[in-house]
Amino acid sequence: MHEVAVVAYDRAPGFELAIPGEVLDSDVLDGRYHLRLVAGERGVLRTAAGWRLPADAPVEALACAHTVIVAGWRDELDAPGPELTAVLRAAHSRGARIVSLCTGAFVLAAAGLLDGRRATTHWRHADTLARRYPRITVDPSVLYIDDGDILTSAGTVAGIDLCLHLVRRDLGATLANTVARRLVVAPHRDGGQAQYVEHPVPEQVNGTLGTLLGWMEEHYRQPVTVDALARRVHLSRRQFIRRFTAQTGTSPYAWLLHRRVLQARHLLESTDLPIETIAAHAGFGSAETLRLHFRRHVGSSPSAYRTAFTPAD
């Protein structure tokens, strides 16, 4: 049983606070995570909308959590209390995994947990974070950053991506996809939040490119060249790459590779096909190529991944 503590604090944004519950406590996960709302501050706590927050446990409960999630923060100008930062540091040094969603990164930063690390936050606050904490390498162009024991995510909805990533890491890609499907969100939103920087009005990958992404989703298992993609949308290769990266945050080819690795993960978990075959089914030309990109994205070799996620469940 994996204990997850979600930190409750006064004037918390309700949306961010709800994300861990929606993703990690999804009924398709069968209670593999045990979530608790833990008070990070004294007194009566309310959400930004004024709803009363009934914390399950006092600050000390962070001591027994495997994962601690700070979902957002009320105000970048408002420093978190010393009690909260101290207990976060303690939890981390005890080996807990610390996660921030959106502006929750400011709390982690105040606790000194991000010093010397890469981190991200909502793009509107990235500058402030970087300026106030020069020892943090802030990358505002990604949806989330997995730095092993510390994970940070970008604005609002990216918190869902990060929580799905946790599920993927802990329980495998197949289950993560099931959760995503249940929530009716994209199981794999690749790339950064660059699109939101230029077009703060969220979502909706614009018309023709959106259609193209659908096509790619159907055809990534076979060889696809960037030139062919550009031709499909009647753009020069150069212009196509420009638009694609502006909208999705990754280059076309990188998108394909990422998608193929995800499919390979799924096949490794759900079949016992040899690596060579899986490579072919996922759209890689050879097993070596799969291995290279698999290690780059997942951090382990395909067969090591398979043994880690095989029997039992």
> Footprint of DNA on this chain (CB under 7 A)?
225-227, 235-239, 241, 245, 251-254, 257, 274-276, 284-289, 291-293, 295, 301-304
b (16+ CB within 10 A) / e for 118-149: ebbbbbebbebbbeebeebebbbebbbbbeee
97 or 259: whose CB is closer to DNA?
Answer: 259
- CB 52 → DNA: shortest distance, Å? 48
Beta bridge partners of 8: 39
Contact yes or no for 118/137 (Cβ under 8 A):
yes
Least Å distance, CB 140 to DNA, is: 16
- Tell me the closest approach of the beta carbon of residue 285 to DNA, in angstroms: 2
Contact between residue 6 and residue 21 where contact means Cβ atoms under 8 Å apart: yes
Measure the CA–CA gap between 39 and 61, rounded to whole angstroms. 9
By beta-carbon proximity to DNA, the closer residue of 67 and 250 is: 250
What's the closest the beta carbon of residue 230 comes to DNA, in angstroms? Answer: 8
**In the bound complex, what is the minimum distance in angstroms from residue 94's beta carbon to DNA?**
30
Determine the 3-state secondary structure of 118 from DSSP. Answer: strand
Nearer to DNA, 40 or 252 (CB): 252
90 vs 292, which CB is nearer to DNA?
292
Tell me the C-alpha distance between 111 and 79, whole Å. 10
> For residue 253, how many C-alpha atoms fall within 13 Å in the half-sphere facing its CB?
7
Burial class (CB within 10 angstroms; exposed 0-12, middle 13-18, buried 19+) of 76:
middle
Q: Are the C-beta atoms of residues 65 and 29 closer than 8 Å to each other?
A: no
- Amino acid, single-letter form, for residue 205: V
Task: For the CB of residue 290, give the shortest distance to DNA in the complex, in Å.
Answer: 8
Residue whose C-alpha is closest to residue 62's, from 24, 93, 16: 93
- Choice between 143 and 257, CB closer to DNA: 257
The least CB distance from residue 270 to DNA, in Å, is: 15
What is the distance between the alpha carbons of residues 276 and 274, in angstroms, rounded to a whole number? 5
Instruction: Tally Cβ neighbours within 10 Å of residue 177.
Output: 18
The residue (of 119 and 264) whose beta carbon lies closer to DNA is 264
The Cα–Cα gap between 138 and 11 comes to 25
To DNA, the closest distance from the beta carbon of 208 in angstroms equals 13
Of 96 and 142, nearer to DNA (C-beta) is: 142
Region for residue 249 given its phi and psi (left: phi exceeds 0; alpha: psi -120 to 50; beta: otherwise): left
Beta carbon nearer to DNA, 57 or 280: 280
